[in-house]
A and B are shown apart, each in its own frame.
Chain A
């Protein structure tokens, strides 16, 4: 199917903004957003149209504590008041559930945990993990995002194409162009630096692209092969 006809772009983008594009269709759409600028432009047009409805709602004054909490989150104020700590603690499980709900395969994640934790070293708790799955839902890479780096393990189910590299991308939910995180190992383990963006944007997905040796020549993914969700553990 040609995703890039005007009609297709509009129908997917409008339902994405409306919130009725869900499940696999939503994930597919997100990977299309990564690859195609015209798709991002269609998204922005629909955000502009539909969110005019939301912008016309009568203003409601939020509790003054919200501004305090925002400043605390951004580190503008040194000592957050007690209730902020309580709030932060409460908001964590919220995220966890959200990602769990989005997870494609709980079994694959359990497998990843087992594999990642195999070396019996005392390591900090993995903050988030993702499993990149192939066409038959086989696990190809296990990805662990810690506070300082991204640990990646290629599984033996992955058979690399010759003379190609595989690049990992962060796909932000805000529709910006995907950000390269580095090249994936074709076998064994490797670590990449953790991009600061992980703390600054909502991560819609991680994506893997097929690239000429050395990685994308353009700074954008050449051909997106897979996407995967990060799941907080």
Chain B
């Protein structure tokens, strides 16, 4: 938090320190979604440029500093993931490959359990799986349909109900 305040004031050393402390997590988020080193680095770079410019926008309503930064990185990675260029380069083949356990997939398996995971455990299997695939792999409704073979209506309702249930668990 101190580092972010200093960053907001234009302190480059503080920004460097912030990068040192947080880039591992930010990079993991980008790599998990994009499954490609070059694109994950691009997303990471753009995310930090944004953090530098927007540091003074942060306030505690937006969660912890790390979570706020993760949000920035994740939106950036999602933008790249949804870009026509990325799709043309054969997203589908990536997906099939990653079913066979790429190192990036393992990232997801090795993550720390946090409070939201306890709530995730209370969801039905379908709800949890769809939310995890959408969150960690960035799949859209249509891609989830293709990936799981379940009808679109079912996917949408799993996600909607799952998120409602998560909210009741997280904000009792």
Contact = CB atoms under 8 A, between A and B. Distances in A.
A47 B12 CA distance: 27
A19 B66 CA distance: 19
A56 B74 CA distance: 13
A176 B25 CA distance: 24
A64 B100 CA distance: 29
B79 to A, nearest CB: 6
Contacts of B80: 94, 98
Contacts of B44: 62, 66
A75 B117 CA distance: 41
A101 B111 CA distance: 33
Contacts of A7: 164
A156 to B, nearest CB: 33
A158 interface: no
B8 interface: no
A19 B71 CA distance: 11
A201 B42 contact: no
A220 to B, nearest CB: 16
Nearest to B132: A53
A101 B83 contact: yes
A11 to B, nearest CB: 6
B67 to A, nearest CB: 5
A15 B163 contact: yes
A76 interface: yes
Contacts of A66: 23, 27, 41, 44-45
Nearest to B155: A20
A70 B21 CA distance: 15
A76 B116 contact: no
Interface in B146-172: 159-160, 163-164, 166-167, 170-171
B52 A74 contact: yes
Given A20-B134, A52-B116, A70-B45, A61 B24 contact: yes
Interface string A21-55: 01000000000000000000100110111111111
A1 B49 CA distance: 38
Contacts, number: 176
A82 interface: no
Interface string A97-120: 110110000000000000000000
Contacts of B83: 94, 97-98, 101
Interface in B101-123: 107-108, 110-117
A174 B25 contact: no
Given A19-B78, A52-B114, A55-B66, A44 B61 contact: yes
A60 interface: yes
A79 interface: no
B129 to A, nearest CB: 13
B140 to A, nearest CB: 6
B142 to A, nearest CB: 9
Interface of B: 12, 16, 19, 23-25, 27-29, 31-32, 37, 40-42, 44-45, 48-50, 52-54, 57, 61-64, 66-68, 70-76, 78-80, 82-85, 107-108, 110-117, 131, 134-136, 138, 140-141, 159-160, 163-164, 166-167, 170-171
